[in-house]
Amino acid sequence: MSDNSFDPKRLRLSQDFSTLGPVKKVLMQVPVRRPDPQQFFRVHPDPEMRLEPAAVLELADRQETYLVVPDVYPLVANEVKIKVLFSAVTRMGTFFLWPVALPEADGRINSWSRSAMLASEHAMKRWTRIRSNRSLGGYDIEEPQAALPEPEWPEDLTLAHAIELAFRDRLIDSADHPVLRQLRGLF
């Protein structure tokens, strides 16, 4: 009995990959982070694609970033930082939100935040890479030597959807939020 189920001629795929049809990448998560020092990135130049100002709570021990709604901000004002959430994309097409600190109420800003803000403005026009420079007390800004194509931003992505994907499990919207309860020592 001859079963030709495993005949290579029957199993070989066509080499005409155009028949497979185009695919569309579906954005399911958005990291909130500083740009990787080994990757070039761009910042979306449209002001509608950034959240400014935003109350951000960073838990360093858990490496988690939370977004605090304005009504809850007064309860944790001494715990949060006021930042801009910039929409950014890497050369590999990874979309992320980059939190950059804004100046304090008195106008002061530390040198790291100042250089990050300058880098974000630079990255709105050119592919950019940042590297920590401790002796400078800020970031070095680098450009690629070759001309690179303009970034491909995720289709139909709104800032609201990006924020939802980034903070769906990390939005502090009430005084009873578990993170706030932990900060108050209630558990």
pTM for the structure as a whole: 0.85
Q: In this predicted model, what pLDDT tens digit does every residue of 7-58 receive, in sequence order?
A: 888 888 777 766 666 777 788 999 999 999 999 999 999 999 999 999 999 9
What is the phi/psi pair of residue 124, to 5°? -75, -20
E-strand ranges in the chain read 41-43, 50-59, 64-68, 81-90, 95-101, 129-133, 138-142, 171-172
157, amino acid identity: L
- Give me the residue spans of the domains in the chain: 26-183
